[in-house]
Structure 1
Amino acid sequence: MSALPPYLEPLGHGVHAVDTGFHRDRFDAAYLIVERGRAAFVDTGTNAALPRLLGALDALGLTRDAVDWVIPTHVHLDHAGGAGALMRELPRATMVVHPRGARHMIDPSALYAGALAVYGQAEMDRSYGRLVPVPAERVRSSDDGFAVELAGRPLRFADTPGHARHHHCVWDEATRGWFTGDTFGLSYREFDVEARPWVLPTSTPVQFEPDLLERSVQRLLDADPACVYLTHYGRLDEVPARAAQGLALLRETVAVGRRHRDAADRHARLTSDLAALYRDSLRAHGCTMDEARIAELLALDVELNAQGIGVWLDRERRQDAA
């Protein structure tokens, strides 16, 4: 086999990370699992990732009809925006999606409208494009404990709300690893210090629920995983230590939100305090990166996390008033 393309990284046991090229290198991964000549994708990136996803198959000597499963962890567009376009290229594949997300894959108009409200038309045109619907007969909904097999290799699904209500994680018995989407958090390789990853919880709009997210992370830990595969980005080992750091930062993030719940300039305060919190956490982690570069790399996450915290605070306030 010839050299693999630079966007395709073998991770062992038939698991490959495909860098989708979204935003920057090693920011957004799709995973290609190969078992005895059969294949499954977990997450797909956006429409722009399609050439790399198909190129990964080509590089590994796999035909389009070797793919049995396409599995978005949830239907946010950096995870599933390209799923419809990919399914159109894979004649034998079935999509497995959380039951709360299935209708959005079959008819993505509401999904597109929701993303448009967050990002605006210019960003939608630039980064996501038009979403391709998936025929209903090619979509299967998961439920908690549901499993499929990839050439005899079991892939089991766990309902993991907290980041989004339409989120499931996928347990791969062969690696004793979870494909975690955004449930476990984000971990950018630029922030590794002496091979130690830094984990950032994600509270993007509009369904962030911190108590449920903590429970979902604990559920992942209860399986005693050897590793987790993050969409943003890559395989992490030493899972309990990584989870402890991420959960501690999640609790601090929640405290920042509650501190500014009723502020008139709440969003500005949230973005400022979250940026400072993440910077200080990185310094404690041992990161010596220039402050401006940290701000640049985390700008999108600070903005989206602040938006999601705002939505959660408003929902909590309405519940308190009811």
Structure 2
Amino acid sequence: MEPGEYAPVPGCTDLYYLDTGMYGTANYGSVYLLDADRPAVIDTGIGNNREYLFDALDDLGMRPDWILPTHVHLDHAGGAGFLAERYPDATVTMHESAVEHLVDPTRLVAGTKAAVGDQWSFYVEPEPIDEGRIEPLSGGETLDLGDRELDVHHAPGHAPHQVVFHDRGDDVVFTADAAGIYVPALDAIRQTSPPSRFDLHGCQADADTIRELDPRYLCFGHFGPKEFRDEDLAEYKRTLAEWVEAVRQKREELGDDDAVIQYFADHAPDDHVEVWGERKAREEEKMNTRGVLGYLDYMETQGKTV
């Protein structure tokens, strides 16, 4: 697909995914449009290309009752305020620990700028949302969409405010970043370990949560849907562990965090550069490395080993 285009999710009922043109990378930003009796938008993109989302909703004749960002990171929730403004009767959900960041995004923006570095040029300032519009989630809820339901599962490894949604009718899990980033061109799942609250063991537990649901399809927040294979998530757990160990060893070798970050940026895998482009691939390596370094620091303060 090209940015702004949408397509049905194979094997699913009235479910579409939209390419938001995120970071200038084809298919990187996936927003899901669920044309239920009470329509829902799952994830919202950064917000900079919100006209793509608005046009797709108009084309499908959808007026969402639910706006469902999986977590508050701006590549998933940055468009929520713009969408809420356009659809004033829609209910917005967010994990209870992050509702405040939708109401007042000031600290969220500052944290995002620190996390993404030069990538901030791809972003826009998010619109705040009135607290009365937001339904806080904790996990364990079931959202009523009329002709179907979405079960909410807390998945705090990637971020403490992350949830995933399970549509039992079509047996689809909307994974947020809990299953990593699936890259169709490589047929591989890559790690995502952003600051400031990445948790290796939590991420591995989240992958197990999805494996236990045993769905037919995974709807990734990046690069769209794929059929579920248990071995994919088993491999992802190993990928995460190997990635954290690689950063730990490089820190031990170099003894300087800035040098560690620059090392992984300079050695971004060639296939990542091919998929994302050089700028995005190297910035992604920097962000993921910073996340792991923060995790290693936290584990040290807790007297724990990785």
Same fold (TM over 0.5): yes
Measured after TM superposition, the shift of residue 87 of structure 1 is 0.5
* 1:142 aligned to which of 137, 140, 154: 137
1:248 to 223, 229, 238: 238
Give me the whole-angstrom Cα distance separating, in 1, the residues matched to 2:264 and 2:87. Answer: 45
1:102 deviation in Å? 0.8
Query: What residue is the counterpart of 2:303 in the other structure?
Result: 320
What's the counterpart of residue 43 of structure 2? 43
TM norm structure 2: 0.89
Give the distance between the partners of 2:177 and 2:170, measured in 1 at CA: 19
How far did residue 164 of structure 1 move? 0.4
Shift of 1:153: 0.7
Deviates more, 1:134-143 or 1:12-21: 12-21
Q: Is the 8 A contact 2:72 2:101 kept in 1?
A: yes
* Equivalent position SS for 1:320: coil
2:259 corresponding residue in structure 1: 268
Displacement of 1:320:
2.1
Counterpart of 2:33 in structure 1 is 32
Q: Secondary structure at the match of 1:190?
A: coil
The 3-state SS of whatever aligns with 1:47 is coil
1:276 deviates by 5.8
**Superposed, which structure 2 residues align to 1:36-75 within 5 Å?**
36=37, 38-62=38-62, 66-75=63-72
Distance in 2 separating the partners of 1:75 and 1:250: 22
Partner of 1:307: 290
CA deviation after TM superposition for structure 1 residue 273, in Å? 5.4
Q: Which structure 2 segments of 5+ residues have no match?
A: none
Q: Given the two structures, how large is their TM-score scaled by the length of structure 1? A: 0.85
1:148 match: secondary structure: strand
How far is the alpha carbon of 1:270 from its aligned partner? Answer: 5.3
Unaligned runs of 5+ in 1: 192-196, 280-288
Post-superposition Cα deviations, 1:36-75, rounded to whole Å, max 9, x if no partner, equal 4x3101110112131011111111122xxx3111011111
Contact 1:207 1:308 in 2 (8 A): yes
- Kindly indicate whether residue 151 of structure 2 is the aligned counterpart of residue 156 of structure 1: yes
Q: Could you say what secondary structure the match of 2:35 adopts?
A: strand
Query: Counterparts of 1:232 and 1:316 in 2: how far apart (Å)?
Result: 29
* CA shift for structure 1 position 257: 2.4
Describe how 1:154-233 pairs up with structure 2 within 5 A: 154-191=149-186, 197-233=187-223
Distance of 1:269 and 1:5 partners within structure 2: 34
Counterpart of 1:22 in structure 2 is 22
CA contact (8 A) 2:268 2:282 kept: no
Superposed CA offset, 1:184-209 (max 9, x none)? 00012332xxxxx2101211111110
Q: 2-side partners of 1:274 and 1:5: how far apart? A: 27
RMSD of aligned Cα (Å): 2.4
Is it true that 1:10 corresponds to 2:1 in the alignment?
A: no
CA spacing shift, 1:88–1:292, aligned 2, 3 Å: closer
* Whole-angstrom CA distance in 2 between matches of 1:5 and 1:109: 29
